[in-house]
């Protein structure tokens, strides 16, 4: 699922702890700035389907630090449709 509007001090550990309340986090990848190494404010979290839906319902619109999270399920149909 997509996670957006993360604070710059977010780490994979802190985000994983947040999502772990809703189930097992399979993987997490935060997009970081190449130079500073700080979070650019978004990333992806992978969980089982029913756990992911619970996390979206529980975390979308909730505050994490001083930011209001945006959490949504990925739309798999969009993957692989880039420029050719």
* Residue 84 resides in a domain: no
Q: What is the pLDDT of residue 80?
A: 54
Classify residue 28: in a domain, yes or no. yes
Q: Looking at the domain assignment, is residue 83 inside a domain?
A: no
How many other C-beta atoms are found inside a 10 Å radius of the C-beta of residue 21? Answer: 10
pTM for this entry: 0.84
> Which residue range is the domain that position 31 belongs to?
2-75
Query: Residue 82 domain-assigned?
Result: no
| 13 inside domain | yes
Burial class (CB in 10 A: 0-12, 13-18, 19+), 50: exposed
Confidence bin at 78 (pLDDT 50/70/90): low
- Any idea what the CATH number is for the domain that residue 25 is in? 3.30.70.330
User: In this structure, is residue 80 part of a structural domain?
Assistant: no
Number of domains in the chain: 1
């Amino acid at each position: 699922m997509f996670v957006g509007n993360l604070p710059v001090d977010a780490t994979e550990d802190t985000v994983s702890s947040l999502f772990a309340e809703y189930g097992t986090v399979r993987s997490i990848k935060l997009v970081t700035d190449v130079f500073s190494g700080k979070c650019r404010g978004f990333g992806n979290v992978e969980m089982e389907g029913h756990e992911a839906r619970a996390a979206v319902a529980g975390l979308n619109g909730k505050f994490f630090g001083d930011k209001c999270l945006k959490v949504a399920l990925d739309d798999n149909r969009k993957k692989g449709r880039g420029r050719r």
